[in-house]
Amino acid sequence: MSRPILVGYDPNTVDPAPVQFAVAAVRFTGARLVVGSVHADPAAVDLMGHGHVEAGLSDDVTEPLDAVREALSTDGVDVEYRALPGTSPPRALHHAAEELQARLLIIGSTRRGSLGRCLPGSTADRLLHGAPCAVAVVPHGWQPKGRIDVIGVGYADTPEGHAALTEAFAIARRAGAKLRVLSAAKPHGYGKTEGGGPLREGTTFEEIGGALRAAAERGVAAATAGAQDVEIEPDVSVQDPADFLIAASDRLDLLVCGSRGYGPQRAVLLGGVSRRVAAEAHCPVIVLARGIETGPEALAGEAAGTAA
């Protein structure tokens, strides 16, 4: 059986954004959808003999799940609804993703003013550390516009960057979307030489930035050479990568990022860039787990051939 997409529905915020994005995702992946809502399970505490049920968990999520079922009744998607017992939303969703062998776990961000955020300690923040599959974080209040037209990918010449490009390319091909390849280089230690002394006279920020930009442009061109069936739009900048990706997300329908370059296989581990982007992006962000497969069980539900 094909690996499903799992979306967590919060009965407290009743934010429809994660479910709406999940519906859009299953339309271009062909995956079945599982909507899970976490409820308190005191028996789990007794079984473990320690811990406690997290405050705010509902005792019964039948009514919220019924409301989602009614809202999706005319969408024509294959949906399974599950009440997930547990002591906390992150723990229960993590367990469900492992049990289902989900290809993607979709969650909403925490509300703060008019923008969604992955606050420290929130469900989104906790699931992004060690999740067993790729995780999509959907800003609170996000609304679909009908179709996914422009997908962005944060690219760097690293194994994680190449994996993100491969998956983003496959998703763009299945969705019939343009792929915007975003690459940013930030000058480090400007004003000093490698040995710690001042730069020689005549070396300017413009020269350093120009060299970095040219190198990034060559890297993107090489990585996307020979791409077929997808319109590729390079976008290269010399600035802080997180700032660049967050600003670019305002013009995207979806952003794909790699996870940190170390840690266990099949686990999402956030670095500074990924954490900030997932927290502050204006569009849904997919953060890949390390070692994620590319093939029939990849995010796009197809043999996700490379962009090169």
Q: What is the pLDDT of residue 38?
A: 93
> Phi first, then psi: what are they for 136, rounded to 5°?
-110, 130
Least confident of 127-136, 197-206, 246-255: 197-206
Query: According to DSSP H, which parts of the chain are helical?
Result: 17-29, 42-48, 62-71, 89-100, 123-127, 159-175, 205-224, 241-248, 272-280
**At 27, which amino acid appears?**
R
Provide CB contacts within 8 A for 168, sequence distance 6+. 151, 152, 153, 179, 256
pLDDT at 168 over 90: yes
Could you give the CA distance from residue 263 to residue 55 in angstroms, rounded to a whole number? 31
What are 48-93's pLDDT values in tens digits? Answer: 444 566 777 888 999 999 999 999 987 888 899 999 998 888 889 9
Q: What is the mean pLDDT of residues 175-179?
A: 93
Q: What is the pLDDT of residue 271?
A: 61
Band of pLDDT at residue 29, cut at 50, 70 and 90: confident
pLDDT at 17 over 50: yes
Q: What is the pLDDT of residue 20?
A: 94
pLDDT at 201 over 50: no
Nearest CA among 172, 160, 162 for reference residue 233: 172
Mean pLDDT of the chain: 80
Q: What is the mean pLDDT of residues 274-283?
A: 87
pLDDT at 44 over 80: no
Provide CB contacts within 8 A for 98, sequence distance 6+. 132
Provide CB contacts within 8 A for 297, sequence distance 6+. 2, 3, 103
Which tops the pLDDT comparison, 30 or 106?
Answer: 106
Could you tell me how far CA 230 lies from the centroid of its own chain? 21
Least confident of 15-29, 184-198, 216-230: 184-198
Domains parsed from the chain with CATH numbers: 1-144 (3.40.50.620)
Provide the percentage of residues in the chain whose pLDDT is more than 90: 40
Does the predicted model carry a pTM greater than 0.85? no
3-state SS class at 272:
helix
Q: What is the pLDDT of residue 48?
A: 47
**Which DSSP string corresponds to 18-56?**
HHHHHHHHHHHH---EEEEEEEE-HHHHHHHTS--PPTT
What are 117-159's pLDDT values in tens digits? Answer: 554 456 666 777 777 888 999 998 898 887 889 999 999 888 8
Q: What is the pLDDT of residue 212?
A: 82
**Which DSSP string corresponds to 148-159?**
--EEEEE--SSH
Q: What is the pLDDT of residue 261?
A: 52
Q: What is the pLDDT of residue 264?
A: 54
